[in-house]
Structure 1
Amino acid sequence: MSSTLRGAIAALLAFAAPIATVFPAQAAARAGDVIIRHATIVDVEHARTLADQAVVTRGGDIVATGPDAKVARSWRAKRSIDATGRFLIPGLWDMHMHFGGGPELIEENKALLPLYIAHGITTIRDCAGDMPYDVLAWRDEIARGTLAGPTLLTSGPKIEGINPIWKGTLEVGSQAEVDAAIARLKGLKVDFVKITDSTLKPELFLYAVSQAKAAGLRTSGHIPMALTVGQAVDAGISSIEHLDYAFKAGVKDEARIAADFAAGRIDRAEANRELDAGFDPATAMAAYRTFAAKGVFVTPTLNGSRVLAWLDSDTHADDAYLAYIGPKLRKTYDWRIQRAAQADAAGIAARHDHFDRMAATLPMLRDAGVTIIAGTDAGFLNSFNYPGIGLHDELSLFVAKGLTPADALSAATRAGPTWFGRLDRYGSITPGKAADLVLLDANPLQDIAATRAIETVILRGEVHDRADLDRMLAEARAKVAAWNAAEAK
């Protein structure tokens, strides 16, 4: 063989070798952990559904989505889920809940974590209680995978005044103490800052909000009666917790009422009566447009308000869900129950009326462009406002009070990630997003009650089918039954 021929053959083999190695690699199906087939994906952002889709997850990530036939040709997975006739949504977020009740209630609080998973809630925001350091530890344990639970975001200890009614706080009485508290919270790597008004001076409330913002921390809280809501917004508050404050912002004489309260000319009861009587829709819409322009979100926590407003006619004594709430936690309900029971007929009627008029602001907020966040206020102290199922009650109330099912679903899947600046990771079913998913038996865009019809929950890529979810609930009931028996001895 001539040297010329040998050289030509060598050149041909050198050219062919890479082709032989590339084509088999291209033809091989890519590997995932889970493939969900024939699902109808709910595109929450655009309030639409996409039929006959497949979703592939690997680890804690979504790695592929698209028409079922196309994805199934390109991907293989260790586990396949047939989602024919079912609807896939992003994981739900409860953006206002509380752990608390003191050291004796630590285990009863920790036992609530599976209730969230069992109800499709993959992320919770703890808005401060009296066991903040335990909750911070749980957050980190969940993130490491050593504790089962939804992703937990927490404020850690709240900022308060000196000798407040709330325990587990960072007490501040000066600007220097506010600065120290914010430095402490940054050191704890809290996810946001909670500020309340039991004894906190109004001027320190505004200072704390502004300094937290300057430190790069989001803030939420209870706005002192001596301030207007607008002052808190101007200081840089990130979310307004409880619809009462949005209602207050719509009162024409709010500034005068705040000043009278600050000067001691009226007490809290009189201030509340004047606020109830002074709501003005035009004032409210102007305030709400300012909220929207400044990126201030509102967490209505309607369900907790509803429960308290109607305790006169619904004692909740026969609630089946009490089987999931430990006896010491149930005991913390007594405080609000007893307060509600002290109201006379006029007080009860006023309570009902206030709730209805307050709830009527919900579509006004939406129309003004305010982002509404779904959060329950569930936890210790807040009577019969149950962790887990309470979020579904909240969403039902949103729709009953004027939002669309699409609005409500967005409030529970996209508003939370948006507030935390994590919409690049959560809130839709697309490659690169977290594998936090809920498979439903019905379409929540048609009926928000569909969020209760859960077939499967995928949390950080781990599949919990209906049997697994039922097991979680059974174990929770068994724990509570054992605690009840011990209490009865």
Structure 2
Amino acid sequence: MSTTGLRINHVTVIDPHDGTRTPQRSILIQGGRITAVEPVPEGPPDPAARTVDATGMFAVPGYNDMHVHAIGPDAPAGALALMLANGITGIRQMSGSPELLAQRRTGTLPLGTHAPSLLVMPGSVLTPLNAGTVEAAAGEITRQKQEGADFIKVGLVSPEVFFAAIAQAHEVGLPIVGHLPSGIDAAKAARAGFHAIEHLGPGDAIWISTSTEEETLRAETAQQRLPKLPAIRLPSFVQRRVQAVIRKRLINPAAYSKAGDVARLQRAFDTHSAPKAALLAKEFAARATWHVPTLMRLRTQQLADLPAFASNPHLRYLPPDLVKDWQNSAATFHKQPQAVRTTLKAAYERQLALTRLLYTSGVSMLAGTDDGGWEVPGFALHQEFDELARAGLPPLKILQMTTSDAARFLGRTTEMGRIAPGYLADLVLLEGDPTVSVDHLHRINSLVKSGTHYSRQDLDALLARLEAGHGHLR
């Protein structure tokens, strides 16, 4: 790999904004930035820059995985390096803590040399542990703002806390994103300014919002009660211990689905109204409510016992203990009653259709993967591309979701999401045109991260080291 000046010649540059292809370009990179995109210069090579012949290649901005949990004590070993080896040059970290935010402030986050850039990160996810009441949520959000969080993420909270948290986040000037807890009116959340919905909910919130029995089903969810916890803020070390206890359940929450909750989801499916769904999608578009479907996360949860997951050859890059946990979680899922698994299987097909509806309705979306059983970091984003294609999204839209749309979401369109002078030198060279076929997004010839060039041989060597170390670089 090279960190000196770099010139990439004879490449076709693709602009993800509109799919424009400009052949026979020369990309000059210096100091981690693109300094020129121009016709291939005549004459001898510039001795001050390494020259790469990219004849037949297509250059696109680096991929961004916009929903990951790749940093912190629970992150899979080698996750960041696996992502880089798969063309991912930027990540949106979806869980944080006071400690991680402090490490970022001091430049001591353990990212490693071979890693994507950390684009944004929240503080601790809002749950009954730190946001059990409106007052606790307000205090937590204010603290996270002071600690340097880039946004607020909602996990599991009551409807009262949910809407109060949106208001408090707006008050302190932070976007708020995350889950729609069961019983939340999805349209009301959009109107309140909930910035991004992850995992198409998850759960039943959107499906209840599109049911002809919406009021009845939502009233049933109101009978549920969140766990009662102390009214005081728990120390960080106590929160970590509690989180460690539930970590294995989070490998696949569907493995612990309650029959009553799944039955209610089935009723929402049975009473689904296509016109109501269309109106809701239009509401999301009108309110600029983003979606991050994370289809692979949903697929690996709701179809967890598919034999193909357990035989995935990419599991060899991960620690055996982690794979064993995933196997145990899949076995637990398989013990669910057949009726539960049948509904969950149907749920995934419906989520593909919902993703298609969001796209055709003009809802802004991002490509992300999350973290959990059967998801191998890096490779999972490529599986996400394929699932988005299965949902009916065209190749250019999928490319946009991981490049230019990510830049737009972050408000960084002047330095990300395009190959142009002044932009960050993060790009992928592909052996096929990704606007023609999603398969070509997988055909990575080489990449550039912050001006450093990784040849195909470099990337293969990085993967070999991860395999030898079972997720640890050796």
Q: Which TM-score band (shorter chain)?
A: 0.7 to 0.9
1:133 aligns with 2:90: no
Residue 15 of structure 2: aligned partner: 43
Query: Which protein has greater RCO, CA pairs closer than 8 Å, 6+ apart?
Result: 2
The Cα of 1:306 is off from its aligned counterpart by 1.7
Query: In structure 2, what is the Cα distance between the partners aligned to 1:150 and 1:185?
Result: 24
1:343 aligns with 2:302: no
Residue 184 of structure 1: aligned partner: 143
2:275 corresponds, among 264, 279, 282, to 282
The letter for the 2-side match of 1:257 is L
* Structure 2 residues not aligned, in runs of 5+: 226-258
The Cα of 1:194 is off from its aligned counterpart by 0.9
1:321 aligns with 2:280: no
Give the secondary-structure state (helix, strand or coil) at the position aligned to 1:333: helix
Instruction: Tell me if the contact between 2:181 and 2:201 (Cα under 8 Å) persists in the aligned partners.
Output: no
2:216 corresponds, among 256, 264, 274, to 256
Query: In structure 2, what is the Cα distance between the partners aligned to 1:402 and 1:136?
Result: 42
Query: In structure 1, what is the Cα distance between the partners aligned to 2:165 and 2:384?
Result: 30
Residue 118 of structure 1: aligned partner: 85
The Cα of 1:269 is off from its aligned counterpart by 3.2
Query: In structure 1, what is the Cα distance between the partners aligned to 2:50 and 2:467?
Result: 30
Cα gap change, 1:140 to 1:117, in 2 (>3 Å) = farther
The Cα of 1:409 is off from its aligned counterpart by 0.7
Residue 205 of structure 1: aligned partner: 162
2:33 corresponds, among 45, 51, 61, to 61
Query: In structure 1, what is the Cα distance between the partners aligned to 2:423 and 2:106?
Result: 21
Give the secondary-structure state (helix, strand or coil) at the position aligned to 2:139: helix
The letter for the 1-side match of 2:6 is V
Residue 34 of structure 1: aligned partner: 6
Query: In structure 1, what is the Cα distance between the partners aligned to 2:112 and 2:65?
Result: 22
Give the secondary-structure state (helix, strand or coil) at the position aligned to 2:49: strand
2:121 corresponds, among 118, 130, 154, to 154
Query: In structure 1, what is the Cα distance between the partners aligned to 2:321 and 2:448?
Result: 31
Cα gap change, 1:122 to 1:482, in 2 (>3 Å) = closer
The letter for the 2-side match of 1:344 is P
2:354 corresponds, among 341, 361, 365, to 361
TM-score with structure 2 setting the length? 0.84
The letter for the 2-side match of 1:455 is N
Task: Give the number of aligned pairs.
Answer: 433
Give the secondary-structure state (helix, strand or coil) at the position aligned to 2:276: helix
2:464 corresponds, among 465, 471, 474, to 474
The Cα of 1:227 is off from its aligned counterpart by 1.6
1:387 corresponds, among 372, 377, 382, to 377
The letter for the 2-side match of 1:226 is G
Identity of aligned residues (%): 29
The Cα of 1:142 is off from its aligned counterpart by 8.1
1:175 aligns with 2:134: yes
1:227 aligns with 2:184: yes
The Cα of 1:225 is off from its aligned counterpart by 1.0
Residue 251 of structure 2: aligned partner: none
Query: In structure 1, what is the Cα distance between the partners aligned to 2:419 and 2:342?
Result: 45
**Which deviates more, 265-274 or 392-401?**
265-274
Cα gap change, 1:206 to 1:259, in 2 (>3 Å) = same
1:410 corresponds, among 376, 400, 420, to 400
The Cα of 1:338 is off from its aligned counterpart by 3.6
Any idea what the Cα deviations from partners look like across 1:144-164, whole Å, max 9, x if unmatched? Answer: 9974411113223111113xx
Instruction: Tell me if the contact between 1:247 and 1:358 (Cα under 8 Å) persists in the aligned partners.
Output: no
The Cα of 1:201 is off from its aligned counterpart by 2.1
RMSD over aligned CA atoms reads 2.8
The letter for the 1-side match of 2:117 is T
Any idea what the Cα deviations from partners look like across 1:114-151, whole Å, max 9, x if unmatched? Answer: 1111000001112127x773476369748999744111
Query: In structure 2, what is the Cα distance between the partners aligned to 1:315 and 1:227?
Result: 35
1:98 aligns with 2:69: yes
Name which one, 1 or 2, has greater alpha-carbon Rg.
1
Give the secondary-structure state (helix, strand or coil) at the position aligned to 1:160: coil
Query: In structure 2, what is the Cα distance between the partners aligned to 1:242 and 1:50?
Result: 35
Any idea what the Cα deviations from partners look like across 1:356-376, whole Å, max 9, x if unmatched? Answer: 122111221111110111001
Query: In structure 2, what is the Cα distance between the partners aligned to 1:61 and 1:99?
Result: 25
Query: In structure 2, what is the Cα distance between the partners aligned to 1:469 and 1:96?
Result: 23
Instruction: Tell me if the contact between 1:247 and 1:361 (Cα under 8 Å) persists in the aligned partners.
Output: no
Any idea what the Cα deviations from partners look like across 1:291-310, whole Å, max 9, x if unmatched? Answer: 11111111111112222333
Query: In structure 1, what is the Cα distance between the partners aligned to 2:471 and 2:168?
Result: 46
Query: In structure 1, what is the Cα distance between the partners aligned to 2:79 and 2:101?
Result: 12
1:448 aligns with 2:405: no
Query: In structure 2, what is the Cα distance between the partners aligned to 1:287 and 1:140?
Result: 43
Query: In structure 1, what is the Cα distance between the partners aligned to 2:381 and 2:108?
Result: 21
Query: In structure 2, what is the Cα distance between the partners aligned to 1:48 and 1:433?
Result: 17
Instruction: Tell me if the contact between 2:9 and 2:53 (Cα under 8 Å) persists in the aligned partners.
Output: yes
Cα gap change, 1:413 to 1:357, in 2 (>3 Å) = same
The letter for the 2-side match of 1:400 is R
Instruction: Tell me if the contact between 2:80 and 2:111 (Cα under 8 Å) persists in the aligned partners.
Output: no
The Cα of 1:312 is off from its aligned counterpart by 3.4
Instruction: Tell me if the contact between 1:312 and 1:348 (Cα under 8 Å) persists in the aligned partners.
Output: no
Any idea what the Cα deviations from partners look like across 1:173-213, whole Å, max 9, x if unmatched? Answer: 3333222211221122122211111xx22211111122112
Query: In structure 2, what is the Cα distance between the partners aligned to 1:139 and 1:66?
Result: 38
2:154 corresponds, among 187, 190, 195, to 195
Query: In structure 1, what is the Cα distance between the partners aligned to 2:353 and 2:69?
Result: 26
Instruction: Tell me if the contact between 1:92 and 1:120 (Cα under 8 Å) persists in the aligned partners.
Output: yes
Residue 397 of structure 1: aligned partner: 387
Query: In structure 1, what is the Cα distance between the partners aligned to 2:267 and 2:217?
Result: 7
The letter for the 1-side match of 2:454 is H
TM-score with structure 1 setting the length? 0.81
Query: In structure 2, what is the Cα distance between the partners aligned to 1:74 and 1:253?
Result: 69
Any idea what the Cα deviations from partners look like across 1:22-58, whole Å, max 9, x if unmatched? Answer: xxxxxxxxxx921111101111111231111111111
